Chain A
Amino acid sequence: MTIFSTDHKVIGKQYIGLSLFAVLIGMALSLVMRYHLVHPDAKVRLFQMLWPDGAPGGQMTPELYLSLMTMHGTIMVFFVLTTAPQSGFGNYFLPLQIGAHDMAFPVLNMLSFWTTALSFLVLMAAFVVEGGAPLSGWTAYPPLSALGKIAGPGQGLGQDLWVLSIALFCVASLMAAINFIATIIELRAPGVGYFDMPLTAWAWFVTALISLFAFAVLLAGGILLLLDRVAGTSFFIPGGLVVSDQIQARSGGSPILFQHLFWFFGHPEVYIAILPGMGVISTVLSVFSGKKVFGYRAMAYALLAIGGLGFLVWGHHMFISGMSPYSSVAFSVLTLAIGVPSAIKTFNWIATLWGGRIRFTAAMLYALGFVSLFITGGVTGLVLGQPGLDLYFHDTYFVVAHFHLIMGVAAIFAIFAALHYWFPLLYGRFLNETLGKIHFYGTFIGVYAVFVPLHFAGIAGNPRRYPDFKEYEFLKSLMPLHVGVTHAAYSLAAIQLLFFFNYFWSQRKGKLADKNPWGAATREWTHD
């Protein structure tokens, strides 16, 4: 059976396919959310058909909004940003780039993919079970996530499925990480030293190392959370909780403990999402500038530094959790320190362009877009990294804008760049360049139109995860801004149809590519 293939190329494409499917669902959910934010009282037949309990008479309940938000975040972070750049492209191209015949453990590789697919199915099942999908966001903070049905629709079976899905995802990611690292350590062809590997391979390597350390910790947190839910333990549930007018029997647990476990994984996770993109972008910028990557070794060391430092900064997500101010300062200094290797990368990208013969192909445009987004999103990180400022900005749309630009959209731009660049190897044809360029400009303008205004909403104090702004006097004046953002989001989504058309059409009808059409120097193009 070829669907249970152990061939790294097939598995790579399977991961990419899973991500493309997931991103469609994630995007549809975001549109429904943006619609609801500007029409909170609308009665929509479609909502009623899809979610009879969540939208009685077509009127969306606050709980349904929160469940869509949870599923959007979970799908995008895990099944798109963690899946395509690392497992998708990495599986396909890593062995080719280092001269290996396949990954080190092909059967394990197949199992990783199918465990990921199973994890996705389990998550989707949360939509259809009684109570629907959970409400507690992609971060699943207890006590909300730990209490069960009493905490709201979706907090019963839906949240159980969520935790189970994430636990499966952790296991799959650990298996994949072991495979990637072992492949790089053991299967490099003779003559390929660590510093002969392209930066893409370095990025996959460092990402796999981060995954190995981070996902084990999330798995631990997930197991403890599941036990709080089903076995009557009290790891995270504090005493004296009154929920839906009922005193909760459990006591002694610490919700903050979960936050530590989650963010010890969660911050490294944001690098899991972005580092593979950095690798792709380094390559694309160099190929289409006709120059070698500027400061190759510094780039590799910067990846390692970001990966290492990334484990020391998780507290910046918890500045307002009541931590000691001394800890805040330490986390803040370490957080700002990550700016250094990040800046090294950015300056080296610019230096790579400097004096080059630049070819503005679609892939190149996406790569340039990535650099732009990485800078705009990174600058707000430096703002949030200061406890005094974060006190105000925490849990506002400022944070939403920050992480969408730098993590969400930048990583997606890297995926677009990678698809345009490697399409000839994946399918023997080119993606259509003209469509690609139109799609790039539309998307580039679109993402800024959506996310720049959200910074201002955050500055105005607009909290995130609120389903209905008009309930609050101080948010009423922001409605025009939100209307604008929602319209920008519609246009942005419409433009994506162009990409999907291009992607499927070009597989069959695209211009045929000959060997190494971009004039690249890495092995995946030059070897047979």
Chain B
Amino acid sequence: MTNVARTGQTLLIVASSMLFAAFTSAMVVRRATGTDWIAPSVPVWLWAAALLALSASWLVMRGLYRPAALCGFLLVASQIAYAASLRMGDVAQSFAAVLVTAHAAHALFGACALWWKGERASLFWHFAGALWLYVLWLIGVWA
């Protein structure tokens, strides 16, 4: 990877992190100020989707970018399936939907980048994987 590509990706990661930090702080504040918080349920298969993210990272490290991208696409599909099952009228569920959909957008971008750019997109993919673990923790444990 060239230095320019690495720097650009690092900056993109900073911007994405800020986006999720903002969602997180909104969620913390909204939960504390409202009286209507009911923890969303996170199905087991969504936890299993974490394995997809991890195996994609593992494949990336082996240089198998297209199989990794396929794992990424599967992850996106499971995220969308979960988000579609949520009720937007419920506050905790709506936050879960926002976080999961925003992550799906990142994962989709990352997987497409892996498919076409291979190694050059690896840094962003690893970030997306770590971010997914964070989102899962946020909606599955913290919430």
Contact = CB atoms under 8 A, between A and B. Distances in A.
Interface of A: 104-105, 174, 177-179, 181-182, 185-187, 212-213, 215-217, 219-221, 223-224, 227, 231-235, 251-254, 256-257, 260-261, 264
B98 A178 contact: no
The 7 closest A-B pairs by CB, nearest first: A220-B22, A216-B18, A252-B34, A252-B36, A233-B94, A217-B22, A178-B11
Contacts of A257: 26, 29-30, 33
Contacts of A212: 11, 14-15, 18
A213 B35 contact: no
Contact of A261 (B12, B22, B98): B22
Contacts of A260: 25, 29
A267 to B, nearest CB: 15
A104 B8 contact: yes
Interface string B1-27: 001100110011011101101110110
Nearest to B20: A220
Contacts of A223: 98, 102
Nearest to A185: B7
B46 interface: no
A186 B94 contact: no
Chain A's interface: helix, strand, loop or mixed, by majority? helix
A181 B7 CA distance: 9
B91 interface: yes
A292 B30 CA distance: 52
Given A221-B26, A253-B34, A254-B30, 10 more contacts: A182-B7, A212-B15, A217-B21, A223-B98, A233-B91, A235-B26, A252-B35, A252-B36, A252-B91, A254-B33
Interface in B16-72: 16, 18-19, 21-23, 25-26, 29-30, 33-36
B69 to A, nearest CB: 21
A453 B54 CA distance: 63
Contact of B7 (A174, A186, A215, A217): A186
Contacts of B4: 104-105, 182, 186-187
Contact of B12 (A178, A185, A213, A219): A178
B26 A224 contact: yes
Contact of B8 (A178, A215, A234, A256): A178
A252 B94 CA distance: 13
B9 to A, nearest CB: 9
Contacts of A215: 15
27 contacts: A104-B4, A104-B7, A104-B8, A178-B12, A179-B8, A181-B7, A182-B4, A182-B7, A212-B14, A216-B16, A216-B18, A216-B19, A219-B22, A220-B26, A223-B102, A224-B98, A231-B88, A231-B94, A233-B94, A235-B91, A252-B35, A252-B36, A253-B30, A254-B30, A256-B33, A257-B29, A261-B26
A193 B140 CA distance: 47
A128 B3 CA distance: 47
A232 B22 contact: no
A373 to B, nearest CB: 31
A213 B15 CA distance: 6
B27 to A, nearest CB: 9
Given A182-B7, A231-B88, A254-B29, A216 B36 contact: no
Nearest to B34: A252
Contacts of A261: 22, 26
A427 to B, nearest CB: 31
Given A104-B8, A252-B34, A217 B18 contact: yes
B91 A219 contact: no
A174 B12 CA distance: 8
Contacts of A235: 26, 30, 91, 94
B8 A182 contact: yes
A174 B22 CA distance: 15
A223 B23 CA distance: 10
B19 A219 contact: yes
B26 A177 contact: no
B20 to A, nearest CB: 8
B105 to A, nearest CB: 11
Interface in B80-116: 88-89, 91, 94, 98, 102
A8 to B, nearest CB: 15
Contacts of B12: 178
A232 B86 CA distance: 12
Contacts of A217: 18-19, 21-22
A105 B30 contact: no
A181 B6 CA distance: 12
Contact of B15 (A174, A234, A256): A174
Contact of A220 (B3, B14, B23, B29): B23
B89 A233 contact: yes
Contacts of B34: 252-254
Nearest to A230: B88
A458 to B, nearest CB: 31
A116 B98 CA distance: 24
Nearest to B33: A254
A220 B21 CA distance: 9
A185 B14 CA distance: 15
A232 B21 CA distance: 23
A140 to B, nearest CB: 16
A333 to B, nearest CB: 22
B28 to A, nearest CB: 10
B30 A232 contact: no
Contacts of B8: 104-105, 178-179, 182
